[in-house]
Amino acid sequence: MSKIASVKATLSELQMVCLSRNIAFVTYCLPDSRDILTLIQYKSQPRKLDSLSQLNSRQGFVLAPFLETEKFPVFLLEPDHIIHGREVDKDILEELKTITVADDGFNTSHDYLYESQKAEFLQQVVAIKKEIQSGSLGKAVFSRIHIVESNDRQGVSEIFTALFTCYPTAFRYVLNIRGAGCWIGASPEPLMEVRDNIVETVSLAGTQKLNGTPAGKVEWQSKEMEEQRFVTAYIESHLNDFGITGYLKRGPFSQQAANLVHLKSTFSFDRDSLGENLGEFISALHPTPSVCGWPKAEAFGLIRHLEKHERGYYSGFLGPINIDGRINLYVNLRCMLVLQRQFALFAGAGITSGSNPEKEWEETELKMQTLLSVLRNMDTKNG
């Protein structure tokens, strides 16, 4: 007797069911890959981690904020189902339809979001430059939020599909976790990857628009080179702190990310060099100067003083832990928070002594185009 094929549902249907019932899930695709994975947790809620050292022996998907607080904890989604591809067994979908996770108010209460206007942003960049010129710090990354009106959350699956298609070299994802909300992004920046027992981390800093120039032909100014040096020196100091001396360093070189190009250096070393301290190493790295500044404590304090919004999970990190034998963590950039009838887009710029406030504003505008271009295309198609 031939086996009866199971009835299939689409990935989009699955995502919409999870969102409508507030079920924890993430759909993601690694850079330069077309393999889509979806992790779903519904038998319990994602674990709140007290320390990143708890990652050492866990499997799942981690979501960490820029600054860990009671309001923004580190979450670990530990999947009850792992689904490969765009088709889902209908039985799974029907099971999920019987579940509803109570909302904790996160998606309706977002008083921590603040949309600064251009004049205010420029004034704050000037204030940061004065602090830098006083000698108290070398770099600070200043971020802002842009709010886009939306009819509803039904386009989330379509946005992920567009990011999947348009940004093949990025880490593309959509996730929903009670207490963190629904986030979508296409990050160009790895924090750390472990594959075949080799750890790789990167320093990524400096941004330009390509304007048709091949990435390898881009010329970099002293401001961008200085930004890159801060991040590189920071990573090398932490490698030395953990006793890792036999690492391979490559770069800096130009790395294309959609319509932008960044300066990048990579560092790779044997996983065994960390022993049981993988989580501690991640904790030491994050946040790097590419999203915070240098020195970290001084930059962090200035950011907290000047930014009127809370970053939440923007410029934190996220990614799969020990899924398919790999660890792939990415800085949460080129991302947005999905609200009830709005999208909150985040972007930042690295401020140094050589910064031009107008150009820093333009840099944040360019970075937001990753998602804004997708949203505009959707409006055109649906209009």
Domain-located, residue 107:
no
Domain-located, residue 108:
no
Domain-located, residue 299:
yes
Domain-located, residue 130:
yes
Please give the Cα distance from 353 to 380 (Å, whole number).
41
- Note down the domain range covering 305: 8-102+113-382
Give the pLDDT confidence of 320-370 residue by residue, as tens digits. Answer: 999 988 999 999 999 999 998 899 999 999 999 889 999 999 999 999 999
- Strand arrangement of the beta sheet that strand 74-77 belongs to: 47-49, 74-77, 60-64, 317-323, 326-331, 190-195, 198-209, 260-270, 248-257
Predicted confidence at residue 343, as pLDDT, reads 94
Crossing angle of helices 156-166 and 11-20, rounded to 10°: 140
Domain-located, residue 186:
yes
Q: How many domains does the chain have?
A: 1
**pTM for this entry:** 0.93
pLDDT tens-digit profile, the chain (383 residues): 344 456 789 999 999 999 999 999 999 999 999 999 999 999 999 999 998 888 888 899 999 999 999 999 999 999 999 999 999 999 999 999 999 888 765 545 577 899 999 999 999 999 999 999 999 899 999 999 999 988 766 689 999 999 999 999 999 999 999 999 999 999 999 999 999 999 999 998 878 888 777 877 888 888 888 888 888 999 999 999 999 988 999 999 998 877 788 889 999 999 999 988 999 999 999 999 899 998 999 999 999 999 999 999 999 999 999 998 899 999 999 999 999 889 999 999 999 988 999 999 999 999 999 999 999 887 666 65
Give the pLDDT confidence of 81-116 residue by residue, as tens digits. Answer: 999 999 999 999 999 999 988 876 554 557 789 999
CB atoms within 10 A of CB 245: 9
| DSSP structure class, residue 170 | S
Domain-located, residue 266:
yes
Q: ∠ CA(8), CA(151), CA(367), 5° rounding?
A: 90
Predicted confidence at residue 230, as pLDDT, reads 85
How distant is the alpha carbon of residue 85 from its chain centre? 22
Predicted confidence at residue 3, as pLDDT, reads 46
- Strand arrangement of the beta sheet that strand 139-149 belongs to: 81-84, 36-41, 24-29, 171-177, 181-187, 335-338, 342-351, 139-149, 293-294
Q: List, as one string, the DSSP characters of 312-343.
A: TTTTSEEEEEEETTEEEEEE--SEEEE-SSEE
Domain-located, residue 1:
no
Can you give the CATH number for the domain in which 268 is found?
Answer: 3.60.120.10
